[in-house]
C-alpha cells in the first residue's frame, strides 16, 4: 500500500541523515523505523500524537512510501484515536524520530561491495524479510553494527559446512566495526557479521 507520509522539514532531513549513515534511501530508512519501533512506542497517547500533527500542519513535506501488509499488520489493533492510517503513521513516525538517537551523516557514505559466507538458513531469513517488508539487506547489515555486540552461539559456529557466498554492501564504519570485533573476540569476520544480523532479526521479527 502506497502512503504519502506527512513529515516536517526537520523530520524529513533527520531521516535523510540517518539513511546517509547506513547508506540507504529515505524510504528504506522510514520502513526500518516503522519495523524497529512498531512496539516500543505503541502506548503513545492521543495528546502526543496530536502534538506531532500540529507541528506537521504548520509546514510539511510528503514522502511516498510503499508499506507492505506485513508492516501495516504490526500497527493493527491499536488505538489510532480516529485518525486515518496516513495521519497516524505520519505522527507516530515523527514521534519515534524525536524520541530516538541514531548516528547520522550529512552526505551519503560510500559502501564497499564484497562477499561473505553465511549459513543458508540466514540467507533464507534475509530474503524472506526483504520480501515481506521491502527493507534491503544493506539496511539490516549496517544498522546491526550500530548495536551492542552479541557473542555467537555454539550452534552458529558449528554451521561451517552449511555456508554459501552472499554479496553484501557495508559502509566504512560497519567494516571497521566487524574488523575490530573479529580481532577482539577471535571469531572470523563472517561469524561476527552473521551473529549481529541474527540478533537483530530475532528482536524485530514476530
Instruction: Say if residue 190's pLDDT is above 60.
Output: yes
* Nearest Cα residue to 50 out of 97, 4, 92: 92
Query: CA-CA distance, 123 to 131, in Å (whole number)?
Result: 12
The pLDDT score that the predictor gives to residue 155 is 67
What is the chain's mean pLDDT, rounded? 92
Instruction: Say if residue 138's pLDDT is above 60.
Output: yes
Query: CA-CA distance, 98 to 146, in Å (whole number)?
Result: 18
pTM: 0.93
The mean pLDDT of 103-113, rounded to a whole number, is: 92
7 near 90, Cβ under 8 Å?
A: yes
The mean pLDDT of 48-71, rounded to a whole number, is: 95
Confidence of residue 180 (pLDDT cuts 50, 70, 90): very high
Confidence of residue 158 (pLDDT cuts 50, 70, 90): low
Q: Find the largest Cα–Cα distance for the chain.
A: 58
Q: What is the distance of C-alpha 162 from the center of its chain?
A: 27
Amino acid at each position: 500500500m502506497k502512503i504519502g507520509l506527512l513529515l516536517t522539514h526537520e523530520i524529513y532531513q533527520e531521516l535523510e541523515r540517518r539513511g546517509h549513515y547506513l547508506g540507504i534511501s529515505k524510504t528504506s530508512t522510514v520502513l526500518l523505523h516503522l519495523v524497529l519501533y512498531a512496539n516500543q512506542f505503541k502506548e503513545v497517547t492521543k495528546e502526543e500524537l496530536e502534538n506531532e500533527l500540529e507541528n506537521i500542519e504548520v509546514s510539511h513535506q510528503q514522502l511516498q512510501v510503499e508499506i507492505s501488509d506485513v508492516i501495516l499488520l504490526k500497527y493493527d489493533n491499536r488505538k489510532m484515536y480516529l485518525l486515518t492510517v496516513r495521519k497516524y503513521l505520519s505522527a507516530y513516525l515523527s514521534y519515534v524520530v524525536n524520541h530516538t538517537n541514531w548516528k547520522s551523516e550529512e552526505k551519503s557514505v560510500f559502501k564497499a561491495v564484497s562477499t561473505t559466507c553465511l549459513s543458508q538458513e540466514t540467507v533464507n531469513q534475509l530474503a524472506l524479510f526483504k520480501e515481506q517488508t521491502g527493507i534491503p539487506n544493506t539496511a539490516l547489515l549496517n544498522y546491526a553494527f550500530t548495536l551492542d555486540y552479541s557473542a555467537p552461539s555454539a550452534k552458529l559456529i558449528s554451521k561451517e559446512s552449511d555456508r554459501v557466498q552472499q554479496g553484501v554492501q557495508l559502509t566504512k564504519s560497519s567494516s571497521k566495526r566487524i574488523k575490530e570485533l573479529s580481532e577482539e573476540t577471535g571469531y572470523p569476520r563472517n561469524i561476527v557479521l552473521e551473529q549481529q544480523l541474527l540478533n537483530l532479526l530475532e528482536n524485530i521479527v514476530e
